[in-house]
Structure 1
Amino acid sequence: MKKVALILIECQNEWLSENGKLRKLIKDKNQLSVSEKNIEAALKIARNNEDIQVLHVTLRLNKGYPEFGKGPNIGLQSAIPKAKTWIIGESGTEYYPKFKPLPGEFEISGRVGASAFAGTNLDAYLRNNNIKKIYLTGYALHVCVESTLREAHDKGYNTTILIDATASFTDQQKKYFINNTVHHFGHQIKTNQFLESVYL
């Protein structure tokens, strides 16, 4: 059996709590609900398999977003301050209760960009623990999950997205990712295929 990692990206209140600022922006609420149930199912599988490590990737930024500097902020460096999300000390940055890490599950730190690798210790952790196969879940599919998939590919990881354990803001965004993006950088499976795939 191969040692692999299940990575949960931004399973925090900002997406999943009823009061989450990003949850309120999601148009396809059914997609979000399905993803939550499937992340929970995947996490249960991982926690019952000693060959799967569970890694948690959060986004937590200081008030005023000094990490972004004072330059001509674009993209997420513009959108995040406008939405006033991910501020340390606010409830949105806390783990959604059912996805709070258990003892022994590693929390990736230092993230400042879209990818789970951006400014973090994720690559060092994976390499130092001889993990080459990773599974991605979390939010949002077409932004942070996709950015992580692309960078994981370029770093040489064998990466699979649990496609029904992640969500975009709209159904169109998810369909575009499935039809035009994922096959360039990795694989996609459904959560009910996850257990079988672990033993391949």
Structure 2
Amino acid sequence: MKPRRALLVIDVQNEYFTGNLPIEYPPTEISLPNITRAIDAARAADIPVIIIQHTAPAGAPIFDKGSPGWELHAEIAKRPYAALFEKTSASSFAGTGLGEWLTAHKIDTLTIVGYMTHNCDATTTFDAAGSGYSVEVLSDATGSLPYENRAGAASAEEIHRVFTVVMHSNFAAVLETSAWIESVETGRAPERGNLLVSNQTARNKRGAA
């Protein structure tokens, strides 16, 4: 049966381009064109595009509503969309009305692009999968930034890679934008991984080394 998709465009806001949280991997020079490609392909295929916009309280250092950093990137703002939801936490489902909209429109598959891979994308993916949605994450249309705190340090590339590997193991089909567009056009479902095979593949490669 053909999936009833919606494309979820999460937090493609200026904060990640010119603000205090610059995305590093993949660089926005790669991810933003892929996000807009996915939007354009979705619209051509009559897949509804849903915009998610993160909002923080007035005076917050990031995503302060009405500030330049809070605003959608111009490439997103100029494109038509079916719905827009503001959120105040990591999950696109928490207190937004997104779930009700998806139910009303009989959506069963969510394709996720936007930022950040390891935070709002991952939390939304886990919530969607737990709610019974089939989830797709476009790895080159998302992105991460580096962290360092008392628990340790990780580069943007490490964070992005680990989260996409984990998501593909059990929660989503992770694929590149070109492969997703081909899947939409041909009707062929994207490959999905699973936890057991992901672990066994890693163990077998380690044993072979």
Name the TM tier (shorter chain): 0.7 to 0.9
Structure-2 residue corresponding to 1:54: 49
Question: What pairs up with 1:70-81 in 2 under 5 angstroms?
Answer: 81=60
User: Does residue 121 of structure 2 align to residue 121 of structure 1?
Assistant: no
Letter aligned with residue 19 of structure 2: G
CA distance in 1 between counterparts of 2:173 and 2:80 reads: 30
Counterpart contact for 1:13–1:96, Cα < 8 Å: yes
Q: Choose from 50, 70, 82 the match for 1:105.
A: 82
User: Does residue 130 of structure 2 align to residue 131 of structure 1?
Assistant: no
Counterpart contact for 2:117–2:144, Cα < 8 Å: yes
Letter aligned with residue 22 of structure 1: L
Letter aligned with residue 43 of structure 2: R
Q: Choose from 17, 42, 45 the match for 2:38.
A: 42
Question: What pairs up with 1:1-200 in 2 under 5 angstroms?
Answer: 1-16=2-17, 19-23=18-22, 26-28=23-25, 31-50=27-46, 52-64=47-59, 81=60, 84-100=61-77, 102-103=79-80, 105-109=82-86, 111-169=87-145, 170-198=156-184, 199-200=187-188
CA distance in 2 between counterparts of 1:88 and 1:142 reads: 23
SS in 1 for 2:107: coil
SS in 2 for 1:196: helix
SS in 2 for 1:151: helix
Displacement of 1:36 in angstroms is 0.9
Whose Rg is larger?
A: 2
Letter aligned with residue 139 of structure 2: I
SS in 2 for 1:88: coil
Aligned Cα root-mean-square deviation (Å): 1.7
CA distance in 2 between counterparts of 1:33 and 1:104 reads: 22
CA distance in 2 between counterparts of 1:22 and 1:56 reads: 19
Gap runs ≥5 in structure 2 = 146-155, 189-209
Counterpart contact for 2:140–2:176, Cα < 8 Å: yes
Alignment deviations for residues 43-94 of structure 1 (CA, whole Å, 9 cap, x no partner): 11012122x0000001112315xxxxxxxxxxxxxxxx5xx00111111111
Alignment deviations for residues 132-180 of structure 1 (CA, whole Å, 9 cap, x no partner): 0110000000111000000001111000001110001110101111333
Gap runs ≥5 in structure 1 = 65-80
Q: Segments of 4+ in structure 1 off by > 3 A?
A: 101-104
Counterpart contact for 1:63–1:87, Cα < 8 Å: yes
TM-score w.r.t. structure 2 length?
0.78
TM-score w.r.t. structure 1 length?
0.81
CA distance in 2 between counterparts of 1:153 and 1:104 reads: 23
CA distance in 2 between counterparts of 1:122 and 1:134 reads: 11
Structure-2 residue corresponding to 1:73: none
